[in-house]
Amino acid sequence: MTRSPISRRFGRYKMQHAAAYAIGAALHRAPPFPSASDNNRIQTLARRITQCAVSTTLKIATPPGDATHIVYRNKRRCRSGLCPPCARKRAWETVKRIAAVLDAVIVASPDMRFALLTLTSRNMPIEAVSDMLRLQESAMARFFRAKAVRNALQGHVTGIEIAIRSEDGNWQAGVHSHSLAALCDSYFDRTKPIYLSQRAIVDLWRAALRVDYKPICHIRAIPNSDAAHASLTECLKYAVAPHRLFERDNGGFSVDPLVAAHLANALYKRRMCRTAGVFSKPRRPNAEGTAV
* Footprint on this chain of Zn ion (rule: CB under 5 A): 52, 78, 83, 86
Which residue's CB is nearer to Zn ion, number 20 or number 196? 20
Taking the complex as a whole, the smallest distance from the CB of residue 86 to Zn ion amounts, in Å, to 3
Reduced to 3 states (helix: H, G, I; strand: E, B; else coil), residue 229 is: helix
Taking the complex as a whole, the smallest distance from the CB of residue 81 to Zn ion amounts, in Å, to 10
Q: How far is CA 251 from CA 28, 122, 257, in A?
A: 21, 33, 19
Check the CA dihedral 230-67-89-128 and report its sign.
negative
Which residue's CB is nearer to Zn ion, number 43 or number 286? 43
Which residue's CB is nearer to Zn ion, number 53 or number 204? 53
Task: Name the residue among 167, 175, 178 with its Cα closest to residue 132.
Answer: 175
Reduced to 3 states (helix: H, G, I; strand: E, B; else coil), residue 199 is: helix
Q: How many CB atoms lie within 10 A of CB 147?
A: 8
d(CA 62, CA 36): 49
d(CA 197, CA 203): 10
Which residue's CB is nearer to Zn ion, number 30 or number 184? 30
Taking the complex as a whole, the smallest distance from the CB of residue 51 to Zn ion amounts, in Å, to 8
Taking the complex as a whole, the smallest distance from the CB of residue 187 to Zn ion amounts, in Å, to 41
Which residue's CB is nearer to Zn ion, number 52 or number 278? 52
DSSP type of residue 3: P
C-alpha 151: how far from chain center: 26
Taking the complex as a whole, the smallest distance from the CB of residue 46 to Zn ion amounts, in Å, to 12
d(CA 235, CA 215): 19
Which residue's CB is nearer to Zn ion, number 24 or number 155? 24
Amino acid 214 reads K
Taking the complex as a whole, the smallest distance from the CB of residue 89 to Zn ion amounts, in Å, to 8
